[in-house]
Structure 1
Amino acid sequence: MASTDGRRRAAVLGSPIAHSLSPVLHRAAYAELGLNGWSYDRFEIDEEGLPAFMEGLDSTWAGLSLTMPLKRAVISLLDSVSATASSVEAVNTVVLTADGRRVGDNTDIPGMIAALRERGVEKTESAAVLGAGATASSALAALSEICTGPVTAYVRSRERGQEMRGWGERLGVDVRISDWAEAEQALRAPLVVATTPAGATDALADAVPDRPGTLFDVLYEPWPTGLATAWAAREGAVIGGLDLLVHQAVLQVEQMTGRAPAPLAAMRRAGEAALAAR
């Protein structure tokens, strides 16, 4: 396949960033697509350092991937933001256009939907969300597209519960709040989305029902989680964080390079190999 004319750059920014698999996934896509002039790096950047970094971007830059804590901080530095990103006030993708504009988008949300559809989950009558952080708001946005009934969020604080209810009102989702102490009840939902940090759901593993529905656990390291292991042992469908990471990265590659479809299978193989080597 022909290479691009000239050098093009992209990178992932965040803090901490050393663990990011994004370089592995994007570089695998470039290799598969024959984009020999393209590079993809990682930079340790916090909110204070972001404006200067953005100011220093030249015409060789095609795009940026953003992780915490930059997804909201970048918005004020952009020329435009997609409706998807605006819906959750979080940008994880910046495309630098030929005319110098900086366009923000959120590929986490359609990435979640694509990962679910890949496993046959097109619609669900109800769902449960474990946690109430930034990823939980993206999960609500994804569920607004596929869930026809209520979504119950299991949270540790009243403040987080209010935030989730507010996101639900904004996104048109019927969000109901339950205390984390009742989280075992979540496992009976046809679709459970776990958005919590490593170890947070381990205590729930023994409560997985005999015939579970689908678990979407957004972690990819460590993997599998205790909950995912118990879920699979009871023959429930499990979608992992690598599935989400790959699907959102596919959309980023397509936006940044203008080439579609991005090589999903090659990117997933590269991600699996990188995780196995850690």
Structure 2
Amino acid sequence: MKRACVIGDPIAHSRSPLVHGFWLTELGIAGVYERRHVVAAELAGFLRGLAAHGYVGCNVTLPHKEAAFRLVDETTELARALEAVNTIWLDERGRLHGDNTDVHGFLANLDHEAPGWRASTRTALILGAGGSTRAILAALSSCGVERILIANRTLERAAALVAGQARRIEIMTLDRLPEMLPDIDLLINTTSLGMVGQPDHGFEIDRLKADALVTDIVYVPLETPLLREARRMGRKTVGGLGMLLHQAVPGFEHWFGRRPLVTEALYRRVAADIATGHS
């Protein structure tokens, strides 16, 4: 029986076991996917002993994605560009391979929920300059988005994030958001604002163009205040849960040999778990 896991610190909140468990049952595969609490001091030892622990691979969540990148033996081109991995698997020689599937998750979610968004997006604005923003930048660049902007509370963090990018990325502080909104085709929130237990987003989006698409990588709550406001204004919105589900697909295929589908049944199952208040 093949076994895989998700590692992080903290880890109790992870819904990855729910997602992979759903697929294992649906596909009739005798396998196990579980949470493992791994602190930073234990990370190297855990990964080197992955096979000894009985695992064929693992997902990596906060705060270990960058550290895990430096610990695996082989990485994909995308993982090297992002300098972070979230999916690890063992080959037949016992070597650790690492990939970053966040780009796939982001793009697949938008493709599924907002078909045609690529053709209609010339200008995209990312709110926030945290760890996930680098993956969003890579995703947008791969789609040929002509103009990408980052709005963050401080310019210093945004500047550090875009340093070394192969293309020009415009940066600005959040107070300039209102003047930029009329030009934006795609608005992406990567901050924790609006997440359960966090402050509201705190900015107005009433100047956003009528055909703009608004997406939020936050998925607890399923509809963040930003998405709720955009929907009220008649804008197309895409929540963050789909990104979580789609980014899990490549790892499952590596470990269990079947490529699963992100279905409405899976979405409802995870959404129901979120609705019970398990944040």
Structure 1 distance, partners of 2:177, 2:39, is 33
Asked if structure 2 preserves the Cα contact closer than 8 Å seen for 1:190 and 1:213, the reply is yes
Asked if structure 2 preserves the Cα contact closer than 8 Å seen for 1:132 and 1:155, the reply is yes
- What TM-score do you get using the length of structure 1 for normalisation? 0.89
Structure 2 distance, partners of 1:146, 1:76, is 28
1:197 to 192, 198, 201: 192
1:126 to 106, 123, 135: 123
1:122-201 aligned within 5 A: 122-123=118-119, 124-166=121-163, 169-170=164-165, 172-188=166-182, 189-199=184-194
RMSD value, Cα: 1.8
User: Cα distance, 1:78 vs. partner?
Assistant: 0.8
Structure 2 distance, partners of 1:173, 1:42, is 38
1:52-91 aligned within 5 A: 52-58=45-51, 60-91=54-85
Asked if structure 1 preserves the Cα contact closer than 8 Å seen for 2:222 and 2:271, the reply is no
Asked if structure 1 preserves the Cα contact closer than 8 Å seen for 2:50 and 2:57, the reply is no
Structure 1 distance, partners of 2:205, 2:172, is 20
Larger mean CA deviation between 157-166 and 66-75 belongs to 157-166
Structure 2 distance, partners of 1:16, 1:33, is 29
Asked if structure 1 preserves the Cα contact closer than 8 Å seen for 2:69 and 2:79, the reply is no
SS of the residue aligned with 2:118?
A: coil
Who is 2:98 aligned against? 104
**Paired AA for residue 110 in structure 1:** H
Which deviations, in whole Å up to 9, do the C-alpha atoms of 1:17-49 show, x marking residues without a partner? 11111111011111111112x111112222222
Asked if structure 2 preserves the Cα contact closer than 8 Å seen for 1:212 and 1:234, the reply is no
Structure 1 distance, partners of 2:177, 2:58, is 36
Who is 2:262 aligned against? 264
Asked if structure 2 preserves the Cα contact closer than 8 Å seen for 1:127 and 1:147, the reply is no
User: Cα distance, 1:268 vs. partner?
Assistant: 2.1
Per the alignment, do residues 257 and 143 of structure 1 end up closer, same or farther by CA in structure 2, a change over 3 Å counting?
A: same
Q: In the alignment, is residue 24 of structure 1 matched against residue 24 of structure 2?
A: no
Larger mean CA deviation between 104-113 and 152-161 belongs to 152-161
Per the alignment, do residues 135 and 190 of structure 1 end up closer, same or farther by CA in structure 2, a change over 3 Å counting?
A: same
Structure 2 distance, partners of 1:201, 1:116, is 23
**Paired AA for residue 129 in structure 2:** A
**Paired AA for residue 13 in structure 1:** I
- What TM-score do you get using the length of structure 2 for normalisation? 0.89
Who is 1:211 aligned against? 210
Per the alignment, do residues 208 and 252 of structure 1 end up closer, same or farther by CA in structure 2, a change over 3 Å counting?
A: farther
Structure 2 distance, partners of 1:23, 1:111, is 17
Identity %: 32
Residue-pair matches, total: 267
Which deviations, in whole Å up to 9, do the C-alpha atoms of 1:59-91 show, x marking residues without a partner? 631211111110010122211010011111110
User: Cα distance, 1:131 vs. partner?
Assistant: 0.2
Q: In the alignment, is residue 45 of structure 1 matched against residue 31 of structure 2?
A: no
SS of the residue aligned with 2:7?
A: strand
Structure 1 distance, partners of 2:146, 2:231, is 25
Who is 2:7 aligned against? 13
User: Cα distance, 1:132 vs. partner?
Assistant: 0.2
**Paired AA for residue 170 in structure 2:** R
SS of the residue aligned with 1:232?
A: helix
Structure 1 distance, partners of 2:50, 2:36, is 13
Who is 1:276 aligned against? 275
Structure 1 distance, partners of 2:188, 2:274, is 22
1:216-255 aligned within 5 A: 216-255=215-254
